[in-house]
Structure 1
């Protein structure tokens, strides 16, 4: 789930806002993106992939937010790691771009969620 936007790194390009399929980000004061609906994040990593400034951190936990500090994420080297290892932009010559494989992952996750909803009795956390 999206956790952090490092304002000092953000170039205000708006790419993250444009590519987010869940409309999680809004343009804030001065145009910098803000987490407007973080709970709607699908953990698709699109915002992180399209952020050429490596200003966005998406935690791999898609069920709940994970408390992280900007200092922790900066020190860990996690900013831009997903984009790098996905072979995007300047990393294309160093890493293969296999992002297209995510289609299968998302489809299987959707099917699993549908099965869970179909099996879960109403009133016990299922969607009514």
Structure 2
């Protein structure tokens, strides 16, 4: 789920607003994008992919918001990591664009979540 826009990195290009399929972002009064409807985020990473300034951080958890601090995200090097590892734009010659592999990743994640639910004790959302 989208968690953070680092204002000092944002160039106000509007690409994140344009590509978001869930209409999560709005232009703010100062021109910078605003997280307007975070609960609608599909965790598709499109905003992060199209942000050439690496000003957006999308956490991989698509079911709930994850508390992140601006300082931690900046220090961790996670800003732009998805773009790099996807071989997007300027990273095309350094990393292969393997987006087609995401089907496998999503299938494995779904199987892991189903397994986790099945292993929960009764009363905690597991099988009865």
Same-fold call, TM > 0.5?
yes
Q: For the residues of structure 2 that align with 1:73 and 1:34, how far apart are their CA atoms? A: 18
1:105–1:25 CA distance, 2 compared to 1 (3 A): farther
Which whole-Å CA distance do the structure 2 matches of 1:52 and 1:14 have between them?
A: 11
TM (normalized to structure 1)?
0.79
Match of 2:125 in 1: none
The 2-side partners of 1:94 and 1:106 are apart by 22
- Normalising to structure 2: TM-score of the pair? 0.79
SS at the partner of 1:74? helix
Displacement of 1:108 in angstroms is: 5.6
Aligned to 1:15: 15
Q: Distance in 1 between matches of 2:86 and 2:11?
A: 21
Aligned to 2:91: 91
* 3-state SS, counterpart of residue 3 of structure 2: strand
Q: Which 4+ runs in 1 deviate beyond 6 A?
A: none
Task: State the Cα RMSD in Å.
Answer: 2.0
CA distance in 2, matches of 1:44, 1:105: 15
Gaps of 5+ in 1: 113-128
1:99 Cα offset (Å): 1.9
Equivalent residue, structure 1, for 2:123? none
TM-superposed deviation, 1:31: 1.6
Counterpart position of 1:43: 43
CA deviations on 1:86-115 (whole Å, 9 max, x unpaired) are: 00011000000112443x369869x99xxx
| SS of equivalent residue, structure 1 residue 97 | coil
Give the total of aligned pairs: 110
